[in-house]
Amino acid sequence: MKLLIEEDYFNKVLDIINDYQLIKQDRKANKVYQRAYLYHYLYSKGMTLQEIGKLFKRNHATIMNGLKVYKQMMETNNKGFEFAVIEIANQLKGDNIFEDPLVMDIHKALSLNSCIECKKILRTLFKSLTGVSHRKIQKLLN
């Protein structure tokens, strides 16, 4: 098997599979998207469907389906897909945009379903950027 992937990147992929628990039989959308992204990444680097299947403890048909999921998500610009795979994509590229805590907080706020949690994070961001609490400014303006 001639891979178009360096050993360091292959080890990163193995770490990601373990860190994100992608071997588990989990059908949650974010896990499905993360696996599909990695299937595509590894397939594009020269691994066969069977080889990828062995890494994830799945058969080649499951990998084929994951590649279809990847293609569909890319064609539809699915935001849920983007949020699910952005951290993995950046780890593989070597860019960890999440090293900046503000970026991580913004990502969390955008990923949340709760407006209350979003507001908490946005208040924290506001204070980090300005040095003043948002509530204090509101009181001064009222």
With 80 as the cut, is the pLDDT of residue 141 above it? no
Output the six-digit token pair for 88.
Answer: 């993995």
Between residues 142 and 52, the one the model is more confident about: 52
Place of tokens 């407006």: 115
pLDDT at 36: 96
Q: 83 vs 104, which has greater pLDDT? A: 83
The token duo for 70 is 């990847």
* Orientation of helix 29-44 relative to helix 7-19, angle to 10°: 170
Position 113 scores a pLDDT of 62
How far apart CA 133 and CA 120 sit, in angstroms, is 11
Distance, CA of 6 to CA of 83 (rounded, Å): 26
Which of the pair, 57 or 118, is modelled with greater confidence?
57
- In this structure, of 24-33, 47-56, 71-80, the range with the lowest mean pLDDT score is 71-80
Answer yes or no: are the C-beta atoms of 49 and 63 closer than 8 Å: yes
DSSP-derived secondary structure letter, 92: H
Q: Full-prediction pTM beyond 0.95?
A: no
Express as a percent the part of the chain with pLDDT over 70: 77
